[in-house]
Chains A and B, each alone.
Chain A
Amino acid sequence: MTHLLAAIGLPYIPGWDELRPFAADLWLIVTIVAVLITPFFITRSNIACALVALAGVTLAFLSQLLVRNSPHVIGEHFRGLLVMDQFAMLWKLLLLLFVAGVILMWFTTTASNMHEGDGPEFFALLLSATLGMSLMASTSNLLMLVLSVEMASLPSYVLAGFRKTHRIGAEASLKYVLFGAVTSAVMIYGLSFLYGLYGTLQVGAIGHAMAAGAIGVGGNALLAVALLGLIVGIGFKVSAVPFHFWCPDVFEGASIEVTTFLSVASKGAALVLLIRVLTTIAAGLGFAPHAGMSLAALAGVIGVMGAVTCTVGNLGALVQTNIKRLLAYSSIAHAGYMLCAVSLLVRHKATIVGEDGNSIAAQAILLYLAVYLFMNLGAFTVAALIYRQTGSEDITHYAGLSRRSPLAAACMTVFMFSLIGLPPFAGFVAKFNLMWVLGTNGGWWWALVAVIGLNTIFSLYYYVRVVKIMYLTPSDAPALNVNPLGLGLAVACAAALVLLFIGLAPLSRVTTNYGKLYLTSQTQQQPAQSTAMITGERR
Chain B
Amino acid sequence: MSFSVLAQSDISDAANTATAVLFYLFAIMAGGSAICVAVSRNIVRTAVALLFTLTGVAGLYFLLNAEFLAAVQLVVYAGGTLILIIFGVMLTSKSPFSRFEAKLGEVVIAMSLACVLLFALVMGIVRTTFATDEFPTGNYPIDRLGQVLLGDYLVPFEVVSVLLLAVMIGAAYLAKGRRREGEEGAARSGSLSRQAREWS
Contacts and interface: CB of A to CB of B under 8 A. Distances in A.
Interface stretch (A243-251, A399-407, A531-539): A531-539
Contacts of B104: none
A530 interface: yes
Given A216-B128, A216-B129, A128 B166 contact: yes
A534 B169 contact: no
B102 interface: no
Given A45-B189, A218-B128, A128 B163 contact: yes
A144 interface: yes
B132 A199 contact: yes
Interface string A154-180: 110110011011000000000000000
A535 B170 contact: no
A536 to B, nearest CB: 7
Contacts of B139: 538
Say what secondary structure dominates the interface of chain A: helix
B131 to A, nearest CB: 3
Which of A150, A165, A225, A533 gathers most chain B CB within 10 Å? A533
A196 interface: yes
Contacts of A165: 178
Given A165-B178, A219-B124, A533-B144, A116 B185 contact: yes
A209 to B, nearest CB: 8
B120 A221 contact: yes
B144 A538 contact: yes
B101 interface: no
Contacts, number: 175
Nearest to A128: B166
A215 interface: yes
Say what secondary structure dominates the interface of chain B: helix
Contact of A222 (B125, B171, B178, B197): B125
A318 interface: no
B123 A41 contact: no
Interface in B26-65: none
Contacts of B193: 39-40, 42-43, 45
Contacts of B197: 40-41
Contact of B174 (A29, A144, A150, A161): A161
Interface in A449-497: none
A30 to B, nearest CB: 11
Given A117-B192, A221-B120, A533 B159 contact: no
Contact of B163 (A36, A117, A147, A157): A147
A369 interface: no
Nearest to A539: B144
A100 interface: no
Contacts of B133: 199, 529, 531-532, 535
A219 B148 contact: no
A216 B148 contact: no
A425 to B, nearest CB: 37
Given A124-B166, A221-B124, 16 more contacts: A9-B147, A12-B151, A36-B169, A39-B192, A42-B193, A43-B190, A82-B155, A121-B169, A121-B172, A151-B163, A154-B167, A164-B178, A534-B141, A535-B133, A535-B134, A538-B141
Interface in B178-200: 178-179, 185-186, 188-190, 192-193, 196-197, 199-200
